[in-house]
Structure 1
Amino acid sequence: MMYRLQRSRAAVLALPLLLTLPACGKDDKKADEDTKTEAEAPKVEKKDPATLFTGDKVTMAPVYGAIKLGMTQEEAKAAMPELPEDGTIKSEAYPEIWFNTDFDDETKKLSRVYFSLPKADAIKFATEKWGAPKEGTDLDKKVQWWFNPDDKLRVSIADSFTEGEAHVEFTSYEPMVQLLGEGKEIAFEKDAPLLGLTPADLDAKYAGFVKKESEEEAKKSQEDIAKLAPEAKAVLGKPSASIDLEYPPTEWAKYWTPVHLSWSDEGKIERFWFGIEFEPHPPAKDEIFALLKKKWGEPKEEDDYGDKLFVFSEDPRIEVKEDTISGKWDIFVEVPEK
């Protein structure tokens, strides 16, 4: 009896060990397989940063794959499933570079992609592929630009926060030649001239470009402006609801090209105006004016309270005036006076 009890006790004590032996064997086998898989996985070859610059015209760096500017976050995620939530891409081929994506807070669309490189290298690589840049400034910093008008894609290279480093930034733009178009009419109103349209007409014929701002939103916008420039508060006027159009920036604009609308008492557009910027690249001032003369002919010069006003047409009345503060040509189109 005692012998049987001792055997039973020994069996019970040995049971945990027996149960763990197969598991340990499986774990060891799995570890061996994982190690083997890692050893067999092909190593990603490191690439020269020069390979980020491709084609004979400005082209998005290949690291961004099928992602395109203007995509929503959902569309970008579908194009690149491995895109991290914070939008920062790491590539084993370029282990020391962080590739960034920036989605606009308001539109939720991809507005720019950028990465940093030693400045001298970035300029050298871009120039070798895309030719000499156009130079200018942005917030007093020297900037080089390259343009691809066919794909409406541009890249700028400017100093980053680290000495000797530069941001290489890709953004979309609307070439001013395409914004204005050929012939007498302005390209963006080719299918539906703006003068005389109602808000409902805009929603139907300019869908995707209409930007509406409520009185409350206008008030907040003015408060934000006043925080940055307190002196502007006196000239902002009373906030009110508005409807405008918004197009991509032209060559030298940073964010967009707004088309401002003025309404008659009958609720129809009686005047609109927009600007084409040249401030970052001063030589563009004469280039833009030459483009306007090519489109509408020689203007008639008038005096506007001491400033020059160039009248290109009487019906509709087309006026052009230099904005010496913002550095752009403002173009006004309105119903002629009767």
Structure 2
Amino acid sequence: MTASTKTSAGNFFEDFQLGQEIRHAIPRTVTTGDVALYTGLTGNRFALPSSDGFARELGLPQAPLDDLLVFHLVFGRTVPDISLNAIANLGYAQGQFGLPVYPGDTLAATSRIIGLKENSNRQTGVVYVRSIGRNQRGAMVVDYVRWVLVRKRDPQSAAPTTVIPDLVASLPATALEVSGGLDLTRFDPAVTGSAHRWEDYEAGERIDHVDGMTIEESCHMTATRLYQNNARVHFNQHAEKDGRFGRRIVYGGHIISLARALSANGLGNALKLLAINGGRHTNPSFAGDTIFAWSEVLAKAELPGVANAGALRLRLVATKNQPAANFPDKAADGNPDPAVVLDFDYWALLPRRG
């Protein structure tokens, strides 16, 4: 009997070419069910994606999807083509959020390979990719760069010419956009439960978000499936029992969402993400770990033409099994503390006074 060849093993490092354009399959129509499940999985308490009434007061037709839910859903479109054979997602840069996404919108994704670098062991390589998510009208909803450590199919295959893209450390404030008609003129702090506005934060300030959240096996698995992220390292215990850790790794995006949800205690008026400057998953997380978080204000910026809002550049650090009261950060050797699992740099929108 002849074995079928209709299935796909995914792309390995040597399958990628510089400049390659990929149109990802399986567009996703989002629903209020996706929103409810995301809230149940992350505990997200930010008011804008939670309340239709609040969103309407701020000029939107209804509550938009949380920005990170949009990011994860677009990310999930890309996994079968980019990271099905990934060992780890290494980092993010130059992310921007476009038009708000609402239940009923359909998201699709395309990617372009912008860099390649084979590792010295010849077993793996790093793939740099720019991915863009668009709605059913073709409007951009998220645009970001990530780089992924991907297995080679054949260690002896020829290495491509090394190209590492030139990525900026932070998007300038002039590149930040408040789109979709959002207007904070009628912002009501009683709705968010936080009195702290843009003026109340200063560069260099550190905030311990106090609370912790334990990752359950069922929660991180459900989150991975919600985004249709089918990377084996996250969901296939049969394969991963013989891997580096002997168990499934929690999808790093789930850690970002948990840390962002925890940050509502102290940054409750950081209504939405405007941009992702950079991010690294510095250590793996597993079911049973308890995630804590702290933030550092890196910079403040006025937004051109936006009178009632300002932007904070925030560094969000997540730890596992270690509260953040002492702001765990770097170890003595300069590398991330073993308890640190995420170092995430982003711009957030906050209301201003007057």
- Do these two structures clear the TM 0.5 threshold for a shared fold by scoring above it? no
The structure number with the bigger radius of gyration is 1
TM-score by length of 2: 0.23
Structure with more contact order per residue of length (Cα contacts < 8 Å, sep ≥ 6): 2
TM-score by length of 1: 0.24
**Where is the helix percentage greater, Structure 1 or Structure 2?**
1
